[in-house]
Structure 1
Amino acid sequence: MPRWLPRALVLALALYACFQLGSWAFHQLIGLLINILIAFFIALAMEPAVGRMAARGMRRGLATFLVFLALMVATIGFVLLLGSMLAGQIVDMVEQFPKYLDAVINWGNHTFHTELSRVEVQDSLLHSAWLKKYVQNSATGVLDVSATVLGGLFRLLTIFLFAFYFAADGPRLRRAICSVLPPARQAEVLRAWEIAVDKTGGYLYSRGLMALISGIAHYVLLQILGVPYAPALAVWVGLVSQFIPTIGTYLAGALPMLIAFTVAPWYAVWVLGFVVVYQQFENYMLQPKLTAKTVDIHPAVAFGSVIAGTALMGAVGALIAIPAVATLQAFLGAYVKRYDVTDDPRMHGRHQPRGTTAEASGSAEPAPVGAAPCRTGPDAS
Structure 2
Amino acid sequence: MSEDGPAPLPAHRKRNGPRAPQWLRPAILYVLLAVAAYQLSGWLFHNLRGFLGLLFLAWLLSITLEPVVDWLERHGLRRGAATGLVLFGLLAFAVGFVALFGTLLAEQLGQLLKALPDALTAVTEWANRVFDTNFTTGPELLRLTPETVRDLVQRFTPGVLGVVSSVVGVVFQAMTMLLFVFYMSAEGPAMRRTISSWFPARQQRVISTVWEISVEKAGGYVVSRLILGAVSAVGTGIFLMIIGVPYWLPLALWTGIVSQFVPTLGTYLAIALPAIIAAANQPIDGLWVVLFGTAYQQVENYVLHPRITSKTVSIHPAVAFGSVIVGASLFGAIGALVSVPVVAVLQALVETYGRRYELVIDTGDTDAAAVPGPEPGDG
**CA distance 1:33–1:216, change in 2 (3 Å):** closer
Question: Does the CA contact (< 8 Å) of 2:60 and 2:219 recur in 1?
Answer: no
How far does residue 284 in structure 1 lie from its aligned partner after superposition?
Answer: 7.3
Counterpart amino acid of residue 191 in structure 1 = T
Aligned residue for 1:199? 217
Aligned residue for 1:358? 371
How far does residue 176 in structure 1 lie from its aligned partner after superposition?
Answer: 1.3
Aligned residue for 2:57? 38
Counterpart amino acid of residue 186 in structure 1 = Q
**CA distance 1:193–1:8, change in 2 (3 Å):** closer
More deviation, 12-21/289-298 = 12-21
More deviation, 234-243/4-13 = 4-13
How far does residue 258 in structure 1 lie from its aligned partner after superposition?
Answer: 7.2
Question: In 1, Cα distance between the equivalents of 2:341 and 2:151?
Answer: 46
Aligned residue for 2:102? 83
- 1:146 aligns to 2:159 (yes or no): no
Question: In 2, Cα distance between the equivalents of 1:84 and 1:253?
Answer: 24
Counterpart amino acid of residue 357 in structure 1 = A
Question: Does the CA contact (< 8 Å) of 1:219 and 1:234 recur in 2?
Answer: yes
Question: In 1, Cα distance between the equivalents of 2:243 and 2:225?
Answer: 27
**CA distance 1:244–1:144, change in 2 (3 Å):** farther
How far does residue 159 in structure 1 lie from its aligned partner after superposition?
Answer: 0.7
State the number of aligned residues: 334
For 1:143-182, list aligned pairs within 5 A.
143-182=161-200
**CA distance 1:260–1:74, change in 2 (3 Å):** farther
**CA distance 1:207–1:131, change in 2 (3 Å):** closer
**CA distance 1:90–1:258, change in 2 (3 Å):** farther
Question: In 2, Cα distance between the equivalents of 1:295 and 1:44?
Answer: 15
Question: Does the CA contact (< 8 Å) of 1:50 and 1:67 recur in 2?
Answer: yes
- 1:49 aligns to 2:49 (yes or no): no
Question: In 2, Cα distance between the equivalents of 1:193 and 1:272?
Answer: 42
**CA distance 1:16–1:61, change in 2 (3 Å):** same
Match of 2:48 among 29, 36, 53: 29
Aligned residue for 2:328? 310
Question: Does the CA contact (< 8 Å) of 1:260 and 1:268 recur in 2?
Answer: yes
The share of aligned pairs that are identical, in percent, is: 41
Question: Does the CA contact (< 8 Å) of 2:64 and 2:219 recur in 1?
Answer: yes
Question: In 2, Cα distance between the equivalents of 1:297 and 1:274?
Answer: 26
* Partner deviation per Cα, 1:229-267 (whole Å, 9 max, x = no partner): 646653553244323445555665576457647854653
Question: In 2, Cα distance between the equivalents of 1:226 and 1:211?
Answer: 22
How far does residue 311 in structure 1 lie from its aligned partner after superposition?
Answer: 2.5
Question: In 2, Cα distance between the equivalents of 1:231 and 1:153?
Answer: 25
Match of 1:217 among 227, 235, 253: 235
**Where in structure 2 are there 5+ consecutive unaligned residues?**
1-15, 126-142
Question: Does the CA contact (< 8 Å) of 2:109 and 2:250 recur in 1?
Answer: no
Aligned residue for 1:374? none
For 1:1-381, list aligned pairs within 5 A.
20-89=39-108, 134=152, 137=155, 140-227=158-245, 230=248, 233-246=251-264, 248-249=266-267, 252-253=270-271, 256=274, 260=278, 264=282, 267-268=285-286, 270-271=288-289, 274-275=292-293, 278-279=296-297, 282=300, 287=305, 290-341=308-359, 349-352=364-367, 356-359=369-372, 366-368=375-377
**CA distance 1:330–1:221, change in 2 (3 Å):** same
What is the DSSP-based 3-state SS (H/G/I as helix, E as strand, rest coil) of the residue aligned with 2:349?
Answer: helix
Question: In 2, Cα distance between the equivalents of 1:307 and 1:367?
Answer: 54
More deviation, 295-304/284-293 = 284-293
How far does residue 130 in structure 1 lie from its aligned partner after superposition?
Answer: 6.9
Question: Does the CA contact (< 8 Å) of 1:85 and 1:229 recur in 2?
Answer: no
Question: How high is the TM-score relative to the length of structure 1?
Answer: 0.70
How far does residue 181 in structure 1 lie from its aligned partner after superposition?
Answer: 1.3
What is the DSSP-based 3-state SS (H/G/I as helix, E as strand, rest coil) of the residue aligned with 1:332?
Answer: helix
What is the DSSP-based 3-state SS (H/G/I as helix, E as strand, rest coil) of the residue aligned with 2:370?
Answer: coil
Question: In 2, Cα distance between the equivalents of 1:309 and 1:91?
Answer: 30
**CA distance 1:263–1:367, change in 2 (3 Å):** closer
Question: In 1, Cα distance between the equivalents of 2:112 and 2:333?
Answer: 31
What is the DSSP-based 3-state SS (H/G/I as helix, E as strand, rest coil) of the residue aligned with 1:329?
Answer: helix
Question: In 1, Cα distance between the equivalents of 2:150 and 2:320?
Answer: 47
Question: In 1, Cα distance between the equivalents of 2:357 and 2:203?
Answer: 27
Question: In 2, Cα distance between the equivalents of 1:337 and 1:7?
Answer: 40
More deviation, 173-182/275-284 = 275-284
Counterpart amino acid of residue 190 in structure 1 = S
Question: In 2, Cα distance between the equivalents of 1:334 and 1:43?
Answer: 23
How far does residue 287 in structure 1 lie from its aligned partner after superposition?
Answer: 4.0
More contact order relative to length (CA 8 Å, sep ≥ 6):
2
**CA distance 1:14–1:192, change in 2 (3 Å):** closer
How far does residue 350 in structure 1 lie from its aligned partner after superposition?
Answer: 3.0
Question: In 1, Cα distance between the equivalents of 2:109 and 2:235?
Answer: 25
What is the DSSP-based 3-state SS (H/G/I as helix, E as strand, rest coil) of the residue aligned with 1:176?
Answer: helix
Question: Does the CA contact (< 8 Å) of 2:328 and 2:334 recur in 1?
Answer: yes
**CA distance 1:221–1:130, change in 2 (3 Å):** closer
Question: In 2, Cα distance between the equivalents of 1:75 and 1:330?
Answer: 32
Question: In 1, Cα distance between the equivalents of 2:154 and 2:207?
Answer: 56
**CA distance 1:341–1:25, change in 2 (3 Å):** closer
* Partner deviation per Cα, 1:209-234 (whole Å, 9 max, x = no partner): 32233124313421331235646653
